[in-house]
Amino acid sequence: MLYKKGLKILAKIILILGGARSGKSTFAEKIAKKLGGEQVSYIATAEALDQEMQERIELHQSQRSKKWDTIEEPKEVSKVIKRVENSRTILIDCLTLFISNLLLEKENLKNENNLEIKNKLEDEIINEVKEIIDIARKKHMNLIIVSNEVGQGLVPSYELGRLFRDISGRANQMMAQKVDKVYLTIAGFALDLNELNKNNQADILKDLGEG
């Protein structure tokens, strides 16, 4: 629990999904500001591997509060969260880049056809994502996670891309079940998926069986 003037405040874990340029990062920063004010730790998972990515990073930096603590960490996000002590609100932007970084670390995967090995790698990455949520819960932190909705575009033409899509989709599903709120951003608008899902799958299936 967080405490403020003697009152208990429930820490929140929030997942924000969206496609490219959907407004997900902007919305996430507004939530972080609302929950944490100027005491926010911003974990950036992007790496400036080329000029275009460097420009994107600089744009994001210019748009957020200069008082926030920015931590650039492409892979060891859970370790960073364990070390954070100066704020109770953490924003991770973004989860899919984090997954991509972990995948690209496995260079031999590009020529690997062993399904068992790939399934093991997928489980390892999913467990790493779970660890991020579990640590935030244990430390009673507000945690906002930005992630791309990757399942509505073209099927990647190369194997590593398809594996990335599958792991990202599975990670998003897992998080949606564990977090407190899930939002989907489209053209700058945010949809509350929890509100839309009041009739959950179990209820829908039950209704279908009562005809």
Indicate which CATH number applies to the domain containing 43.
3.40.50.300
Phi/psi at 94 (5° precision): -135, 170
pLDDT value of position 83: 95
The total number of structural domains in the chain stands at 1
- Out of 51-55, 151-155, 186-190, give the one with best mean pLDDT: 186-190
> Is 36 contained in some domain?
yes
Handedness of CA 161, 166, 170, 176 (dihedral sign): positive
**CA 22, CA 19: separation in Å to the nearest integer?**
5
> Is 161 contained in some domain?
yes
Residues annotated catalytic, as ranges: 60
> Is 131 contained in some domain?
yes
Do the Cβ atoms of 46 and 57 come closer than 8 Å?
Answer: yes
**CA 155, CA 161: separation in Å to the nearest integer?**
8
Handedness of CA 111, 116, 117, 119 (dihedral sign): positive
Q: Mean pLDDT across the stretch 144-169?
A: 90
Look-up of token digits 């390892």: 124
> Is 115 contained in some domain?
yes
> Is 3 contained in some domain?
no
Owning domain of residue 27: 12-188
Report residue 58's pLDDT band, with 50, 70 and 90 as the boundaries: low
The whole-chain average pLDDT of the chain stands at 86
Q: pTM (2 decimals)?
A: 0.85
Which of 12-16, 80-84, 100-104, 138-142 comes out lowest in average pLDDT? 100-104
Residue type, 99: I
- Out of 106-120, 150-164, 183-197, give the one with best mean pLDDT: 183-197
- Out of 18-22, 53-57, 113-117, give the one with best mean pLDDT: 18-22
> Is 194 contained in some domain?
no
pLDDT value of position 123: 92
> Is 87 contained in some domain?
yes
Residue type, 134: D
**CA 77, CA 41: separation in Å to the nearest integer?**
12
**CA 76, CA 74: separation in Å to the nearest integer?**
7
Distance from the first to the final alpha carbon of the chain: 45
pLDDT value of position 158: 85
> Is 69 contained in some domain?
yes
**CA 94, CA 167: separation in Å to the nearest integer?**
14
Bridge-partner residues for 183, per DSSP? 16, 192
